[in-house]
Structure 1
């Protein structure tokens, strides 16, 4: 049988088409257009025969097989091209060639090493990102069983075709989106939806690729394959490469672009200014055979070229990118000690700026396990204790889920009763039952499924427990037996058992640390929001009572709720991404933790994504950080390390920007006065190495754990510009003296009686020692390491200048120079004036420097979140019923607990774990005391 239909493309999100491009539902035949949906023939194979070989071959020819999606990462060629063929690399190459032609000494080529290091580091980082993206894969099933021509075959999943009949059993991963044809079983879709409870599947139900069969045997027809499956559409966006969202890196590139706009006109002006200062005019160039002939033969022209490109190289903060990448790399190495794998070094900056942390409940706040918090006896018609009854039921049922494990840990197994019939737990029935001969049948599960109708007193008790965020089970008895799969009709309540999520021992301290460090914590979960809210309260999350269910809400409603609430329940993958995007739009820097496929869209949207080693491969691959020991408690150390690195980069970067601004200021002075530029590249080698490069790397390793605030460029310029102006004023002072009658102060008479000017060497001394003064200011406040650093740099500068052979690296002929007392005194006066001048300039610029940006508040306090609450509780792994009207017009719910109707916030985050548990226990005890007239506590196990 076959039928014709046109199937439109499934769209995971509203923005999917805009982001991924318009893709048609089915692959196209070779001779058909690729931009229109293709009308294809759908087969309806029998579950006893499957597709024929001819039909399967036709599907393969049409390209309708379960092939891997296309890669979205950059090619190796584009990575190399993009990082090598840049504007500044072109300038570097041009400067290198020009300096070679100008017979520059080897000491003037140190900038080439820095540029090469920048290129290598950038290429390595992008290749690492490409490898990570190319490995991103959700489906791990290598083969699948299909039915072809009435025979079962095991084939690679890539050879599954549209409309194939496939066989699935417990433990297998579903390789493609399918429709159940026959059979029944349970499927765990936690990786896709975040819902940890297995879902019962029957004929006609959808099976999503990437989910796992946890029980039963299923026969299914393949409905969507390859790129059309839900999971591959979901991950296609995660596979797309995007440059790191680093404020520092983006600011550095912006600064470099601004410098790039100025560098060419400044270089051209400086070239002609230097020519004029040397007495060379255009007529002389033509008379002497042209530009190239002079370039290759004239020593004067060599000086012009060297000084011109000294401006070009001086304006480029070439070491700034290298400083950033090296400092981040050291941070990555240090984080490895905390069992943290950093997959994107630039994410450390975003982590340092984080002021909103979005968590999933399971694995971060809780450890995924549950524990029995209470058991209240209502009415036991037998002579056996509740411990005997539950122990015998657990021994008979042999269930293996978190609820049954928690029950086993509390009640164990018992042989007190011998079962005669069992009905295991099912996500459809929401209960399990066991018959014990003449004793009758005991059922355990969600109260509304076990007790029909539910007694009013039990309903009241269940509601009160549920409001505490506890999962509620009821144990009930019937005197009749299980017949086949048919349960007794009437059950009477025996006991109520409550279970709570097990809070991780370190979660409360970790969340307290985030609160103390101005980081708001939000919880985003696929679970019931009431339960999640209670867990969040017990963990000490501020405003945990502000919770909402996103089930059925529109994207606009989700966006509105993002900054109104702290706890979000029943959240889909698309809604998670909307939440993160909306919180970011409010001006926040957001970190997101996740472990499943359902988290990857939100993790990709977050500024910094954190996963755990035990999470899905997809979540690990899109994350920036992976907690190798699955320990959320290491997050404060990770954040502190990020803060240390980024704060120190901001402080150290001012040394590089100071050189750029100084070069620009001096170039403007030379152009306006038609003077030759003051330095060649080797004249500035002491400044480049001992005042800029070495101190910046040492300072980048200093402790600094304050939260990163403010914009990079205003912060750095406000600290670099005063220093640049101070050094420029010293150099301009010497320049002014050289133009005046006092220029004789620079004269030096050699042994042969020749009088030479020490003007240029004096400029080098001025630059070096005023630079040391600026370094001393940047090292404030001094500690042992900074004091030793400054002492080392100062001693090294003095040594180089004092040793004639070393001085030749700075200035050709330095070994023959001698400075008199007047010249040394002049330098001392300029250096002495540098400190108060820089202080005055700093105070002046502080008046115009705006205060650093503060984080935008993400939680608005309100006295009432809703008129009522909707309790869509999970019991025994299943969904419960609604106990009150929804506050969101039936679309989900904005909730608030009745006992917290006037409280603006939840339990303070600085409560200890013990205090939190005691308060919960006290609340439970008070509830039980109210009901003392009609219930009694069960006794110890016999």
Structure 2
């Protein structure tokens, strides 16, 4: 609290000369706020990968043994890496530009003039002003305090706000929950506390991503399989088959290269990057890329009413004087004086200031800033008649005892979706912990909230997508329920007062499962509610814009902040809606579902290839026969049946709800499909070896095996491409046509060493492929029944 009757001399801050001197000494807050990796990091991350190293070594080997057409896979890797770098650089450009728009600018006082500057322009000794929702960006010492309460929970884990007085320390990373003040910067740059904690990580961090984790797990297993298989193939082709060393190496490379699902990592990065670009065009800043994926997995969205379902502003619709002998003009003056007493009014008080601007004649001697924890603010005045009085303005159900006659009137107004504040005269001093006892209710201030025009449709979208919406607000439960009911939220007709919720997690979770609207929720309760829902296995997203939402945003699986929200909420959220539009959320969900659903599709293609490649290598080693393919054959097959179609499928629209267990869902079909493809291809190869006679028939046998594997792979593609649209059908047909062009063009036949001899074996390959296709269909249907999508 403060004593405006004897205000201290205002601090003027640094002068321009002092600022220039500190800049010259390098005493600047030079920690970069990054929304993406640097260009050098992007290039390194895309070039220096485990599989680029493996493929690069194999490519160099082929350059030695020749011919160049067996090294086509190396050029594919170069193209893939270039695509990945270009797309991520495009995403970086989008992220960086949006981060500049969304970056908060603290207010510093220099030469006595408050000025908003970039965080990186703060110098040592700067005087930084603080108000509700502001984040402390550097360490400092408080020099001015007006009921200044700071939440340090993000640093210390202690949820209770700390009242700060002049001389107290503040740490960067904490934020203001009530009151105001100013502090001098005592540590800037990398010396600041929060900067030291975050030295190893920038804002561009990889939060838990099941997609990335699953792919890394798959690649780890593939790596361990490759080494023994490569040794076995070399021994088989060199010693058992008696090939010359160059031919043995070519066949070994042909067996190893298709085991590497190299394009899968690329397509995952590209899908994320394009998602960022698409959302960036809608003014949505994705501060952590996997947040796109995370929101797609969300099954419960917790919404703060103010700023999410309603717009920030409010209007005073009515003033109801409760005391019979009270003068309404007098009440208006008190409200005007309360408005003037708070230099940083919230939305409710701003509406009162707009309605009752005249507070002249009233001198504020003490103030109590609004806090979302206590639900009221206050001030002490010397009125025009020199009479001193203490006033409180806040939630009627907090300031009045249960059963008070005025509460029934409040309930009626709340039921209409109106927000009601009580103006009451306090008999005790403002710093008395029992100040709310024995207050005299003077007037009800009725506020009308502005509903967001797009909120109703957004709630209906979540309902259609089986995403449960929970409105958790600090406002009166009945009022919140009325607003939610206007927007058509199911369950809004039975709002719950959070003060009656059990504190035990399991009991709270049960209550949350059955309710949709919760009012009078404290900031700590919001955090507890998120944890309770998570304990039931729910993936929870939390949206909000005020400091009372910070704790819940931080603990939720995905935090979504409005761009106009407090600096603290934007700092902890993974997604910031810069246009302040709740209606952007469906776009984020849809983008995440597109990424996850499509990557699951294409992963099945890549891993089917890995499985049949491993199986073919094992069968060749055990059967002591020449490996049926050269690298060029499998490059052709991979390009037509996986590489090109996977690129289009990965970027296609997809609204399927994301499901957990990525690896299991992919492998449940990739393993049987790969086994069928490998066994059928090897069977066709053995039949062709028995059919063709002579010493130089390996090329004909290879062509039969290539045709068989292509037809089976095309059927796998046809299954994965479902449900069919015109462009999916055209894609599958175009890939088939591409293979026919190779078979029908003489120079392409020679380039790829493909030539079908006679008609018996080619048709035999078609027949074997048809039987394999039937098996693939049966497996697909069996998997669909046992593991429904």
What is the aligned partner in structure 2 of residue 248 from structure 1?
Answer: 211
The 5 A counterparts of 1:503-902 are 503-523=451-471, 540=489, 542=491, 545-546=495-496, 548=498, 561=508, 564-565=511-512, 567=518, 571-572=522-523, 580=530, 583-595=533-545, 603=553, 605-616=555-566, 619-620=569-570, 623-740=573-690, 742-744=691-693, 758-811=700-753, 814=754, 817=755, 819-845=757-783, 849-851=786-788
Q: Give distance in 2, aligned partners of 1:724 and 1:346.
A: 29
Q: Give distance in 1, aligned partners of 2:595 and 2:556.
A: 20
In structure 2, relative to structure 1, the CA distance for the partners of 1:87 and 1:211 (3 Å cut) is closer
Q: CA RMSD in A?
A: 5.5
Q: Give distance in 2, aligned partners of 1:170 and 1:92.
A: 56
Q: Judge conservation of contact 1:718–1:842 (CA < 8 Å) in 2.
A: no
SS at match of 2:445: strand
SS at match of 2:301: strand
Cα deviations by residue, 1:279-318 (Å, 9 ceiling, x for unpaired): 26xxxxxxxxxxxxxxxxxxx2211101111221110101
Indicate whether 1:499 and 2:444 are aligned: no
Displacement after TM superposition at 1:249 (Å): 1.6
SS at match of 1:677: coil
Q: Give distance in 2, aligned partners of 1:253 and 1:467.
A: 53
Cα deviations by residue, 1:164-203 (Å, 9 ceiling, x for unpaired): xx7969999977677777x76355869999xxxx999877
Q: Give distance in 1, aligned partners of 2:10 and 2:347.
A: 37
The TM-score normalised by the length of structure 2 is 0.74
Indicate whether 1:302 and 2:276 are aligned: no
Q: Judge conservation of contact 1:685–1:810 (CA < 8 Å) in 2.
A: no
Displacement after TM superposition at 1:837 (Å): 2.3
Displacement after TM superposition at 1:272 (Å): 0.6
Displacement after TM superposition at 1:499 (Å): 2.9
Higher relative helix content? 2
Cα deviations by residue, 1:658-700 (Å, 9 ceiling, x for unpaired): 1111101111111211222111110123311111111112222
Q: Judge conservation of contact 1:144–1:175 (CA < 8 Å) in 2.
A: no
Q: Judge conservation of contact 1:114–1:322 (CA < 8 Å) in 2.
A: no
Q: Give distance in 2, aligned partners of 1:549 and 1:672.
A: 71
Displacement after TM superposition at 1:204 (Å): 8.5
Q: Give distance in 1, aligned partners of 2:108 and 2:201.
A: 22
Indicate whether 1:403 and 2:368 are aligned: no
In structure 2, relative to structure 1, the CA distance for the partners of 1:621 and 1:450 (3 Å cut) is closer
Q: Give distance in 2, aligned partners of 1:563 and 1:66.
A: 51
Q: Judge conservation of contact 2:72–2:635 (CA < 8 Å) in 1.
A: no
What is the aligned partner in structure 2 of residue 339 from structure 1?
Answer: 283
Indicate whether 1:159 and 2:140 are aligned: no
The 5 A counterparts of 1:81-230 are 86-114=49-77, 117-118=80-81, 121=84, 140-141=106-107, 158-160=123-125, 185=146, 187=148
Q: Judge conservation of contact 1:507–1:632 (CA < 8 Å) in 2.
A: yes
What is the aligned partner in structure 2 of residue 40 from structure 1?
Answer: none
Deviates more, 1:636-645 or 1:102-111: 102-111
Q: Give distance in 2, aligned partners of 1:450 and 1:717.
A: 56
Q: Judge conservation of contact 2:283–2:578 (CA < 8 Å) in 1.
A: yes
Deviates more, 1:621-630 or 1:230-239: 230-239
Larger radius of gyration: 1
Displacement after TM superposition at 1:590 (Å): 2.8
What is the aligned partner in structure 2 of residue 278 from structure 1?
Answer: 241
Q: Judge conservation of contact 1:121–1:325 (CA < 8 Å) in 2.
A: yes
Q: Give distance in 2, aligned partners of 1:564 and 1:278.
A: 71
In structure 2, relative to structure 1, the CA distance for the partners of 1:408 and 1:715 (3 Å cut) is same
In structure 2, relative to structure 1, the CA distance for the partners of 1:190 and 1:124 (3 Å cut) is farther
What is the aligned partner in structure 2 of residue 322 from structure 1?
Answer: 266
Aligned length: 725
